[in-house]
Amino acid sequence: MTQQKPIIGCLALQGAVELHRPHVEACGATFKAVKTPAQFEEVDGFILPGGESTTMLKLIERFDLWDVLAKQFAKKPVWGICAGSILMAETVLVSLPSSSRWRASSEALAPPLSRGQALGSGKDEPQSGSHMDPRRLSVPSERRGDDRPVLQKSFGLLPITVQRNGYGRQIDSHHALIDGYEVSLIRAPVITAVDDSVEVLARHEDTPIWVKRGAYMASTFHPELTQDFPSPMHKAFIEIVRSSVQSAS
C-alpha cells in the first residue's frame, strides 16, 4: 500500500509562504497555502512563516481565526519560523530595560535576497497583550516611562522566551551556517530562555536558534530563502508530521 503524502499547510495571511513549496515538495510532501478554517482541517501540520508577527496577529483577530487555530495547533505539529517562532513562544518580549537589552554581534551582513527582500522591510511595530488573554489586542504607546518589558500575545505552544528583533536592526541581518546549511537572519528574534523540556537543536552566537519540543518546532532564522532543496529543517519538520500522522492512524 502506497503511503499517503503528508499535507503541510503554510499559514498564508502574511509573510514568506510560497518559498516553502519547493522545500516541502522535495521532501515528498504536499504543500498547501492555507487561510480558512476549512483549509486548516485538510492539513497534517502547520508552518507559521516568517514575516511580521504583529501584522499576523491583527489578521488572525480580524478574521476571527484565533480559536480555530489554537484548536488545530493543539492536535497537529507546528513549525514557527522567525515571526512564526514569536507566535509560538510562551513569553514574547517587545522591549527590555536598557541596562539588559539583548545585543548580539553580527560578523557579516546579508546582501539583498532577490526572492525574499520583502521580509527585510517594515518589521514589527510594538504591540502588547499576553498570550494568556488571546481574545484581546491592545496597542500601547511606543514608549514607556518605566523599565518593565512590553509583552506581546502569542499561542504559547513552546515554553521559551523570545526577544523580538533581538539581533538588531535591518543592517544587522546576516547569514549563518546551521547544521551545515546557510540560513538568513533578518531582524530575527532571539530565544533568551528555554525550559528544560525543550530540545535545543542548534545554537548561534551562544543562544538557541532552533528548538523542538514534541511536535512543536521553532527556528528564528529563514531556511526557505536558500535555494538548495530541501533544507535540513524542512526535512526534520516533515518527519515530525509523518510520525504524527502514523500515530493517529
Bridge partners (DSSP) of residue 207 are 204
Nearest to 88 by CA among 205, 247, 194: 194
Positive or negative, the Cα torsion across 179, 182, 186, 187?
A: positive
Please report the pLDDT score of residue 61 as a whole number. Answer: 96
pLDDT at residue 94 in the model: 85
74: cell is 493543539
Which pLDDT tens digits describe the chain residue by residue (249 residues)? 456 899 999 999 999 999 999 999 999 999 999 999 999 999 999 999 999 999 999 999 999 999 999 999 999 999 999 999 999 999 999 854 443 334 332 222 233 233 232 223 333 333 333 333 332 222 232 333 445 566 899 999 999 999 987 665 555 568 999 999 999 998 889 999 999 999 999 999 899 999 999 999 999 999 999 999 999 999 999 999 999 999 988
What pLDDT, on the 0 to 100 scale, is given for residue 104? 34
Q: How many residues are given for the chain? A: 249
Tell me the domain boundaries of the chain. 7-248
What is the per-residue pLDDT for 249? 80
Alpha-carbon span 237 to 190, nearest angstrom: 21
Predicted local confidence at residue 111, as pLDDT: 32
- Chain-centroid distance of CA 230 in Å reads 18
pTM (predicted TM-score): 0.79
Per-residue confidence (pLDDT) for residue 149, from 0 to 100:
66
Dig out the grid coordinates for 143 from the structure: 514608549
- Please report the pLDDT score of residue 101 as a whole number: 36
Residues acting as catalytic residues: 82, 222, 224
**What's the pLDDT at 60?**
98
Homologous superfamily of domain range 7-248 = Class I glutamine amidotransferase (GATase) domain (3.40.50.880)
- 100: alpha, beta or left? (left if phi > 0; alpha if psi -120 to 50): alpha
DSSP letter (8 states) at residue 1: -
Question: What's the pLDDT at 172?
Answer: 57
